[in-house]
Chain A
Amino acid sequence: DGGITQSPKYLFRKEGQNVTLSCEQNLNHDAMYWYRQDPGQGLRLIYYSQIVNDFQKGDIAEGYSVSREKKESFPLTVTSAQKNPTAFYLCASIGDSNEQFFGPGTRLTVL
């Protein structure tokens, strides 16, 4: 099956720790995105990448980092500099059809 996978589904972190969220797609899409969603709120763009080895900051990039070494993978690291990281994180990719495909999400909780 083609699609986007995110892991883990639930993640718990202690304050001061860095954590990395995985996002993998087998849709052969060039562009990939990371969003953050807080309870009852819309999606906010963290980072996006249009092509391998290139990425741009979104609206709330502070405290986050990404890499795009492979077309299929776009991991997101939540660093200790992110003061309020507890949220639902969504990864998406988009191809020529301009339709964004989303993964199932990772719910991060800081203890």
Chain B
Amino acid sequence: LAKTTQPVSMDSYEGQEVNITCSHNNIATNDYITWYQQFPSQGPRFIIQGYKTKVTNEVASLFIPADRKSSTLSLPRVSLSDTAVYYCLVGGKIKAAGNKLTFGGGTRVLVKP
């Protein structure tokens, strides 16, 4: 399973864009990149998933360069309620062998007024 490295913490202000980069140098060909958000005392919540280039949904964008050795989660115009821990997860499709999904330490994002 590809090991991931993220910054431990980031501070931002309301209305700004937050970009969190995750490094995954040994990502495998069939691995996808998934990001989760976790609030205190709650289970993580799926944000976005991608394989290459760019993926966008109603809450975030995910940028993946051609070599796929890193990815960047972009949160546009954050609000105080976006204060949370964000996890990057790299793994293959469930139907493939070895779908042991391991989380890294995550990035603690603090949004200030």
**Is B103 in contact with A35, judged by CB distance below 8 angstroms?**
yes
Partner of A104 from the list B42, B87, B102 (CB cut-off 8 Å) is B42
Contact with A along B64-108 (1 / 0, CB 8 A): 000000000000000000000101010101110001111111100
Secondary structure at the A interface, as helix, strand, loop or mixed, is: strand
Secondary structure at the B interface, as helix, strand, loop or mixed, is: loop
**Is B46 in contact with A99, judged by CB distance below 8 angstroms?**
yes
When distances are taken between beta carbons in the complex, the residues of chain B under 8 Å from A88 are: 41
Q: How many residues does chain A have at the interface if contact means C-beta atoms less than 8 Å apart?
A: 29
CB of B5 closer than 8 Å to a CB of A? no
Return A96 CB to nearest CB of chain B, in Å. Answer: 7
Q: For chain A, residues 83 to 111, give those with C-beta under 8 angstroms from any C-beta of chain B.
A: 88, 90, 92, 94-96, 98-105, 107
Q: For chain B, residues 34 to 66, give those with C-beta under 8 angstroms from any C-beta of chain A.
A: 34, 36, 41-46, 49
**Is A99 in contact with B49, judged by CB distance below 8 angstroms?**
yes
Partner of A98 from the list B41, B49, B104, B105 (CB cut-off 8 Å) is B49
Q: Mark A residues whose CB is within 8 Å of B.
A: 30-31, 33, 35, 41-45, 48, 50, 56, 58-59, 88, 90, 92, 94-96, 98-105, 107
Q: Mark B residues whose CB is within 8 Å of A.
A: 32, 34, 36, 41-46, 49, 85, 87, 89, 91, 93-95, 99-106
